[in-house]
Structure 1
């Protein structure tokens, strides 16, 4: 089971990624990515009041955290600070489609996602 990637928590880190990082938008999320060579991967999550009440915002962030854990929790991606921003569609979007949105946004932002090695090959 993949571990949770370390988190961005301080406002100045979010602002630094927003100001200097690459941006990729998808229907289910917006990704901001900033290369930080020599540092571990860190991920931050945000959802604005524009997308709904606290229940909807919390659901949105939970879904983004799980998608990030599944795609980035294996520790293969290093040297990036990422911010995932929820959109109105995030809370209700099918989870497989949301994962596809995240994969595409990571690719567009230049974050190298190594494909998992096939377990059937021996």
Structure 2
């Protein structure tokens, strides 16, 4: 389970990431990353989490049992990767959405871990380039 502060739950947050975020895909997953402001939330008076994650697992992946197993696998991988130093930039908030494709159930843990890691790295790189272009 992802800690509460590290979960994307609101549909508007998912929508923002999917519309404005940078994508990187593989054969089993598509990772979308969006940088956000890390200003304290006035409602909660707390420092926001440096990253938040969300999952999209559609019925195309399989029946309910397969979808829930896929969600657990991806949640575990996302939590593991976000703890890796250097994967996400320091000092900026990052929202990550991992969308599962039909091939996920047949993908081994090592392959899935590699695809998500690679997707996050490539999407962060694209998001940085986009951010630099808009700042210039």
Please tell me the TM-score bracket, short chain as reference. 0.7 to 0.9
SS state at 2:13 partner:
helix
The yes-or-no answer on 1:33 pairing with 2:47 is no
1:59 aligns with 2:69: yes
Asked if 1:82 corresponds to 2:96, the answer is: yes
Cα distance between partner residues in 2 of 1:22 and 1:96: 24
Does residue 17 (structure 1) correspond to residue 17 (structure 2)? The answer is: yes
Taking only aligned residues, the RMSD between alpha carbons, in angstroms, comes to 2.0
Offset at residue 74 of structure 1 (A): 5.4
Q: Count the aligned residue pairs.
A: 109
Q: Which has the higher strand share?
A: 1
Unmatched runs of 5 consecutive residues or more in structure 1:
112-122
1:46 corresponds to which residue? 56
- Could you list the structure 1 runs, at least 4 aligned residues long, displaced by more than 4 angstroms after superposition: none
Do 2:52 and 2:95's aligned partners in 1 also have CA atoms closer than 8 Å? yes
TM-score (norm 1): 0.80
Question: How many angstroms apart in 1 are the aligned matches of 2:84 and 2:73?
Answer: 18
What is aligned with 2:134?
Answer: none
Q: Give the number of the structure whose residues are more often helix, by fraction.
A: 2
Query: What are structure 2's unaligned runs of at least 5 residues?
Result: 39-47, 126-136
Question: Could you tell which deviates more after superposition, 69-78 or 90-99?
Answer: 69-78
